[in-house]
Structure 1
Amino acid sequence: MMTTQQNTLVTRTGADTPAGKMMRMYWQPAALAEELADRPIKGLRLLGQDLVLFRDAAGKLALLDRHCRHRGADLAFGRLEDGGLRCLFHGWLFDGEGRCLERPAEPPGDRLCGKAIQKSYPVIELGGIIFAYLGEGEPPAFPAFDCFIAPDSHTFAFKGLFECNWLQALEVGIDPAHASYLHRFFQDEDPTLSYGRQFRGTSAGTNIPMTKILREFERPTIEVEATDYGLRIAALREIDDRRSHVRVTNLVFPQAFVIPMSAEMTITQWHVPVDDHSCYWYAIFTSFGEAVDREAMRRQRLELYTLPDYRSRRGKSNDYGYDADEQRDQTYTGMGFDINVHDQWAVESQGVIQDRTRELLGRSDKAIVAYRRLLLAEIQRAAEGQRPLMALSPEASLEMRGPATVDGIGETLHWRDYWQSVDRERRAQAAWGGSVHAR
């Protein structure tokens, strides 16, 4: 259980808050690259700040404060002209660094134009996501994680909106116990039809559907290990007196997790505050096997999410699609077969900002407790002027590999050896990742 003060500390992310200052020491997902496809200008809100993202005529990305330095008009409606972004109100022109190039309504020889600076922020595109750095000084280096070093052909990026605080949205992804209930299906589908869908295929090296394992083995033993990137989380479900189902996932500090989607694919997912009352999840799906069928995966996700805001078609306004007959006969929730809806209901139903002072935690919440302790400690480190975990130097970033994920069945007594061997074999067979060793 957390105190009111602690809950406030970890959930508020404005620029003047301790958690907000720490989060601004990291690159944050700001948009999908595809969002600039039709019109290369996009207004967005990130960590409570209003910003405008654009790609100039030369193809260079830029991110500025959204409201014009002149009189506050919205630059998201601006025009890409003359090497920059021009405000519709009076024609002021800013380049990607925020420098004012023209103030056309002013007299000839205007000497104040160079002082009219629109604040700008570093941006970079990786894995189909545009990342932004809102902090001071030099941004940290990116780790050599699978999602960043895999070729474009083997990755796919998407996002979705949750109408709640970022922390409860993240915590569902590092909670191994909930899957046996929240994502329980009463029938097992044909695993050959499971492409692009989590928990619908078979565990690695077996023909046992994951839905069957979650349904029949509902009491996992959870192990949590501190790592140089955050936490490694193992959920062990005892199949018989010799074998266990082993699922290895990871918390990457400060707000991402890396989990298995299938025997060949992993999900690296961030939960990013729009503000303290809503957040986007951003995910990069990375394949160690065949190239990703991007069109199929995008089509699957657009069955649930609407553009341009990537908002779920199921939510509070329609009871998340709840159907009592389905809940009796088909799914545990009665909310359909897309687990994103299940997670959305779970985190939004806790309230816009969850009150953690009222919780009664158990042993199955081991990873949640470990992460909260880590989060509080790193917020304090950042407040004291120290470099928090995963704010990496260029040298440290090169050593940061993986991290490994596994979903399979191995010998209970040697489960650590098992998951490491599965990861090594998968990497050895991947054309792009054979020389990379996860941690």
Structure 2
Amino acid sequence: MLPRPENDLLTQVGAGKPLGELMRRYWIPALLSDEISERDGAPVRVRLLGEDLVAFRDSRGCVGLLDEHCSHRGTSLFFGRNEECGLRCIYHGWKYDIDGNVLETPAEPSSSTLKDKVHHTAYSCKEAAGIVWSYLGPKEKVPLLPNYEWLNLPPDHLYVTKSVQDCSWLQGLEGECDSSHLSILHQAFSARQRGGGDPDMYAADSAPALEGMETDYGVRMISCRKADADTIYLRVSNIVLPCHGFIPTGGLKGNAEGYTIHSHVPIDDEHSMRYNIHFRRNRPIHAEERQHEREIGPDFKKNRNLQNNYLQDRAEQRQETFTGMGRVFLVHDSCATESMGPIYDRSQEHLGVSDKTVIAVRKFLLQCVNAAASGKVPPHVILTPEQNDLRHVACIVAKIPPAQDPKEFVAEQLKKEKYWESAHD
């Protein structure tokens, strides 16, 4: 269980809150690049870490992320005119560039210097992997964008979606910490209904041995299942600061091709946006791998959601899948986390051995929050090119003998230039 003060500490994301200030030290997803694909196109509302913002792409193709409300008298800039390298308020014509500079105040006398005295809230943006990443922290402490291997792949090697989660970001992130639920929640009773990964391995042992190891980027999570008397099924996933799960969804065969990133970005205390980033190292994404398009509407709300009970089919639940909610893991995960309520009171839970990695991640997050609050640079805030070698942020799936120490095996794999080419053998 987590005492209520600590529960509050890890779920309150607004400016001035300890976790909110920690989150603001990192580049985080703000929206998909496709949402503002057109230069001088329509602005888009963005709610991020409890702040109401508006994103737009200017005449040069650069992305801006501004406070939604005009610095003059508060009219929403969502309704503004995006033209000539700036976003203009429709009320009195104040115009802002992507850096928050006030370019024009046409309702003021020509001699007015008011525009030089006002600076509108604006946040830095970078684009990579089909995502607009934004930094909401102190301008004198802007870190480098992490050099994850998938950030620089060709667009057709990536499949990126997002969906609204009607719960705190932490509930979603904790779902990434829990490898044991793969054997339960995502069960299917026919080959046709199976999802990704290695369902036979998950079924062989529903109570894996779990361990969480603190690293310079987050927590490396090791799961060991007894596949048979001579085989341990090893699965290594990661919680990466500030809000990402790096998950080896491809299983033994697919992990060499790439893994999946689930980013649980706080919208506010009670809502989050789950970004799903699938990548393939050496080939384009296949059409059949784009499974989320059938599950997410144009408003980024899931077609199966809490309000319609995830369209649960009790006949399917008896005959086909454990949940009766289809085969897409996103839906299963959402039901498990959203049905807890907007912010689950963790002082009421009863944890067991299967929650070992969840506990490890909570402990690590609390350490990071407290370190940042005391003025220390949080882990994985990358300030130098040397810190940006991230090859050790690795997802591994392998079969190993029972006598093999899993941590030693992982350490040996990470010494290789391309750990994924032999880890599954």
TM-score > 0.5, shorter chain as reference = yes
Question: Taking structure 1 as the reference length, what is the TM-score of the superposition?
Answer: 0.89
* Residue identity opposite 1:34 in structure 2: D
User: Is residue 427 of structure 1 aligned with residue 418 of structure 2?
Assistant: yes
Question: Which residue is equivalent to 1:269?
Answer: 262
Question: Which residue is equivalent to 1:286?
Answer: 279
Question: Which residue is equivalent to 1:346?
Answer: 336
Question: Which residue is equivalent to 2:220?
Answer: 232
Q: Secondary structure at the match of 2:10?
A: helix
Structure 1 stretch displaced more, 346-355 or 33-42 = 33-42
Q: Secondary structure at the match of 1:311?
A: coil
Contact kept, 8 Å, 1:133 with 1:139, in 2: the verdict is yes
Contact kept, 8 Å, 1:188 with 1:211, in 2: the verdict is no
Structure 1 stretch displaced more, 400-409 or 226-235 = 400-409
* Whole-Å separation in 1 of the counterparts to 2:352 and 2:196: 26
User: Is residue 182 of structure 1 aligned with residue 185 of structure 2?
Assistant: yes
Choose which of 45, 56, 59 in structure 1 pairs with 2:61.
59
1:409–1:429 distance in 2 versus 1, CA, 3 Å: closer
Structure 1, unpaired ranges of 5+:
200-209
Question: Which residue is equivalent to 1:8?
Answer: 8
Deviation at 1:421, TM superposition (A): 6.8
Q: Secondary structure at the match of 1:141?
A: coil
Question: Which residue is equivalent to 2:206?
Answer: 218
1:282–1:397 distance in 2 versus 1, CA, 3 Å: farther
Question: Which residue is equivalent to 1:203?
Answer: none
Question: Which residue is equivalent to 1:18?
Answer: 18
* Whole-Å separation in 1 of the counterparts to 2:10 and 2:269: 10
* Whole-Å separation in 2 of the counterparts to 1:393 and 1:379: 19
Question: Which residue is equivalent to 2:106?
Answer: 104
Deviation at 1:245, TM superposition (A): 1.3
1:144–1:37 distance in 2 versus 1, CA, 3 Å: closer
Question: Which residue is equivalent to 1:205?
Answer: none
Question: Which residue is equivalent to 1:202?
Answer: none
* Whole-Å separation in 1 of the counterparts to 2:409 and 2:214: 19
Deviation at 1:337, TM superposition (A): 1.1
Contact kept, 8 Å, 2:413 with 2:419, in 1: the verdict is no
Question: Which residue is equivalent to 2:314?
Answer: 324
Deviation at 1:297, TM superposition (A): 4.3
Contact kept, 8 Å, 2:55 with 2:64, in 1: the verdict is yes
Question: Which residue is equivalent to 1:303?
Answer: 294
1:74–1:377 distance in 2 versus 1, CA, 3 Å: same
User: Is residue 167 of structure 1 aligned with residue 170 of structure 2?
Assistant: yes
Choose which of 344, 347, 354 in structure 2 pairs with 1:364.
354
* Whole-Å separation in 1 of the counterparts to 2:238 and 2:192: 27
Q: Percent identity?
A: 35
* Residue identity opposite 2:296 in structure 1: Y
Alignment of 1:32-51 (within 5 A): 32-37=32-37, 39-51=41-53
Contact kept, 8 Å, 1:258 with 1:268, in 2: the verdict is yes
Question: Which residue is equivalent to 1:147?
Answer: 150
Contact kept, 8 Å, 2:37 with 2:57, in 1: the verdict is no
Deviation at 1:311, TM superposition (A): 0.6
1:282–1:253 distance in 2 versus 1, CA, 3 Å: same
1:319–1:153 distance in 2 versus 1, CA, 3 Å: closer
Question: Which residue is equivalent to 1:259?
Answer: 247
Contact kept, 8 Å, 2:58 with 2:84, in 1: the verdict is no
1:296–1:397 distance in 2 versus 1, CA, 3 Å: farther
Structure 2, unpaired ranges of 5+:
none
* Whole-Å separation in 2 of the counterparts to 1:297 and 1:66: 36
Deviation at 1:144, TM superposition (A): 2.4
Choose which of 406, 413, 417 in structure 1 pairs with 2:396.
406
Deviation at 1:182, TM superposition (A): 0.5
Structure 1 stretch displaced more, 142-151 or 93-102 = 142-151
* Whole-Å separation in 2 of the counterparts to 1:107 and 1:297: 58
* Whole-Å separation in 1 of the counterparts to 2:168 and 2:383: 29
* Residue identity opposite 1:23 in structure 2: M
1:10–1:88 distance in 2 versus 1, CA, 3 Å: same
* Whole-Å separation in 1 of the counterparts to 2:392 and 2:302: 31
Deviation at 1:399, TM superposition (A): 2.9
Deviation at 1:106, TM superposition (A): 2.0
Deviation at 1:375, TM superposition (A): 0.9
Deviation at 1:359, TM superposition (A): 0.9
* Residue identity opposite 1:150 in structure 2: L
Q: Secondary structure at the match of 1:274?
A: strand
Question: Which residue is equivalent to 1:334?
Answer: 324
Structure 1 stretch displaced more, 36-45 or 328-337 = 36-45
1:405–1:61 distance in 2 versus 1, CA, 3 Å: same
* Whole-Å separation in 2 of the counterparts to 1:288 and 1:427: 11
Choose which of 88, 91, 101 in structure 2 pairs with 1:89.
91
Deviation at 1:60, TM superposition (A): 1.0
